[in-house]
Structure 1
Amino acid sequence: MIETNDSSLEVQVGVTSSEQNPLELLADESGLSKQKIKEAMTKGAVWLSQSKNKKGSARPVRRKNSKLREGDQLYLYYNPDILAEKVTEPKLVADEGDYSVWDKPYGVWAQGSKWGDHCSIGRLVEKYFDYNRQSYIVHRLDRAASGLMIVAHNKKAAAALSHLFAKREVEKIYIARIKGRLPEPEMTVSEAIDGKPAKSHIKELTVEKDESLLEVSIETGRKHQIRKHLSGIGCPIIGDRLYGNATEGDIDLQLKAAKLMFKCPISGENRYYSLVS
C-alpha cells in the first residue's frame, strides 16, 4: 500500500482464493469503508490483472462480486478529489449506429485514467446508452476545449475512424475567441511544436469591442496546437490558463471544435456535423 502527500492511496493485493471478492479484499487491505471502495469501483478506480492473461494487462472491474481467480492482482487507485469531480453531460449530436457524434462540454476528459473514468466522454456516452453500447475513443479533444467528438461503438468502426484521423482525412474547423485582433485578418502559423511540423490556418470572423472571433483549421494535430499557435503570435485564447493570462475562476477556455467533415468509412457517405450556423 502506498500513500501519497495529496491524500491519494494506491493499493495492490493478490488474490489467494477464488472465494474472495474485490470489495472485501480491498476494504481489508486499504482500511477504507466498503462504500468508498464500491464508489471507486463504479467510477473506474479499481483494476484487475488476471493470472490467466500472460500479457499482464489490467482492466477496470466495477462489480463488487466480480469473479476472481487465485493469482489475480487487484489494484485500487483512490483519490477522493478525483472521485468527487463532476462535469456537465455531453449532448448527442447524431447517432449513426456504429458511432455517435457528441458536443463535449468543458471539463470532460477524452479518456479516463487509472484514478477514474466517470468524467470521460467514453464512460458518459456508455451511461447515456444505459451501458448497452461500448465506447471506443478515436480522436482527442483537450479537456479544457469543448465541441464535436466522435465515439465509436464497435472495434470495426473504431479502427476505420481512427484510420481516417491518422491519415488526416477528417476536416476539423474550430472557433476561438481572443482579446484584441489578429496581426492580419487571415494568416497561417507554421511554428513547429515539440520539434514536429505544425500548421494552423486562422481567419478573423467578427470583431466586437475588444474581442475577435476566429475560425481555425489545422493540417496537423499536435498537442494544444491551436492554443500554442495563437499564444505564440500574441493572441492567446480567452480563458486559457496554460498559454494565456487566465486564472482559476475566470471564464472557461473559449475554444470549440465546431465542424467535422469526412467520408464515412462504414456507409461511404459524406458526413458533415456543425455546432454553428
Structure 2
Amino acid sequence: MKKHHSGGQRPQSKKPRANVLEVKEQEELMKFLIAQLPHKNRNNIKSLLKKRQVLVDGKAITQFNHLLKPGQRITLESASAPIARQMRGVVVVHEDKDLIVVNKNAGLLTTATDKENRETVFSILSNYLKEQDKSNNIYVVHRLDRETSGLIVFAKSKEMQELLQESWKQSADSRSYLAVIEGKLDPAEGTHRSYLFQSKIFKVHSSQDPDKGDLAVTHYSTIKSNELYSLLKVSMEPGRKNQVRVHLQDLKHPVIGDKKYGSKSNPIGRLGLHAWVLAFKHPVSGKNLRFETSIPGSFLKLF
C-alpha cells in the first residue's frame, strides 16, 4: 500500500501558519499576551504591537490596553503588516468594502496637482489597496489643504464616490474643524457669512456682494483662549475651498501659520487647522458613522 505523504504536497510546509490564539474572557490585550506568550517579555510584546503584528479578528491593533472580548481570535503575524511601511503620514480610522476614512498629517496633499506630483494621500492609499488586490481603486470624495491635518474619506468605487458626494451637502453640519487663531474673538462664538470667489492666482477672496461669489457660512465657538491665541471649534455650510481660513481673516483673527490669509505668527511650524470630526450616513448600509480625532498636541501646547 503506497503512502502519498511527500513534503511537496503539503502547502503548510511551504508557508508557516500564523500563530492563532482564542480569547476566553474579557481582559486587556497586554495581559492576555503576557499569559499566552510566557517566552516573551513586555518589551517583546510592545514591539509586536508597534509593528502591527498582532491582529484581533483580522485587524491590526497597536494599543496594549485594547479590551478583548470572549470568542475573539488573536493572530500573531511573523512579519510586520505592510501598512506600517506604506502609510507614512496617514492612519486608517475606518475601512469597509465601500469606503476608507483616514487621519492625515499636515504637509500631505490630498491628490497630485499639475504643478506637483509628490507622494499624496491618494497615492499612498492607492498603493495600500492595490497591494491587497491589483484591481482595487480609490476615488476622491473631498479634499483637505496640504497644511491641514485630520479626517478625510475616500470611496472604493465610482458609484460610492457619487453617492457620498450627493449626500455631502446634507452632512456638512457634521464636519467640525479645530482652528488656532491669533488673538481672542469677541463675542467668543458666532456665525460669519460672505460670498467667496477665486482670483486668477488661485487665492480665495471674500465679499458681501452676492453677485461676486458663492454664499459661505461659517459657525465658530471658542474652546480655549489666552492672551495670544484661541482654539476654536468651526463648522461650515456648505464647505468651500479655504472657507475657514478666509472667514477668520475677515474676522481679523487669522489662523496661525496662515501667511496667505493674513497671519503674522507661526508658533507651531504649521497651519493651525485640523479636520476634527467627520460624521455621515453610510450610503449602502444606512448606518450613521461618526469619527473624532484627538486634538493635535501642538495645538494644546499653546494653552
Query: What's the TM-score once normalised by structure 1's chain length?
Result: 0.63
Q: 1:97 Cα shift? A: 2.3
- Report the number of matched residues: 190
More deviation, 200-209/242-251: 242-251
1:269 to 274, 287, 290: 287
**Amino acid across the alignment from 1:227:** R
2:149 is the counterpart of 1:146: yes
Q: Between Structure 1 and Structure 2, whose CA radius of gyration is higher? A: 2
User: Which of these residues, 235, 257, 265, is aligned with residue 253 of structure 2?
Assistant: 235
SS in 1 for 2:196: coil
Alpha-carbon displacement from aligned partner over 1:118-140 (angstroms, at most 9, x marks no partner): 42211111223354331100111
In structure 1, what residue type is equivalent to 2:120?
A: S
Q: Determine the structure 2 residue equivalent to 1:78.
A: none
Percent of counterpart pairs with the same letter?
31
Question: 1:149 corresponds to which letter in structure 2?
Answer: I
Match of 2:240 in 1: 222
The residue number in structure 2 matching 1:83 is none
- Give the conservation status (yes or no) of the 8 Å contact 1:168–1:219: no
Q: TM-score, normalised by structure 2?
A: 0.58
1:207 aligns with 2:225: yes
Quote the residue 2:64 is aligned against. none
Q: Which runs of 5+ in 2 are unaligned?
A: 1-86, 198-212, 296-303
User: Matched residues in 1 for 2:115 and 2:190: separation?
Assistant: 41
CA distance in 1, matches of 2:268, 2:179: 16
1:183: which partner in 2? 186
Q: Partners in 1 of 2:88 and 2:260 — Cα distance?
A: 22
- Structure 1 unmatched runs, 5+: 1-86
Instruction: Name the residue aligned to 1:93.
Output: 93
More helix by proportion, 1 or 2?
Answer: 2
Q: Report the secondary structure of 1:150's partner residue.
A: strand
Task: Describe how 1:22-33 pairs up with structure 2 within 5 A.
Answer: none
CA distance, structure 2, for counterparts of residue 246 and residue 99 of structure 1: 39
Query: What is the distance in 1 between the residues matched to 2:96 and 2:141?
Result: 15
- 8 Å CA contact 2:176, 2:278 repeated in 1: yes
SS at match of 2:219: strand
Give 2:163's aligned amino acid. Answer: A
- Indicate the SS of the match to 2:164: helix
Q: Give the equivalent residue in structure 1 for 2:106.
A: 106
Match of 1:259 in 2: 277
Q: Tell me, in whole angstroms, the C-alpha distance in 1 between the residues paired with 2:113 and 2:246.
A: 25
The whole-number CA distance in structure 1 between the counterparts of 2:181 and 2:265 is 15
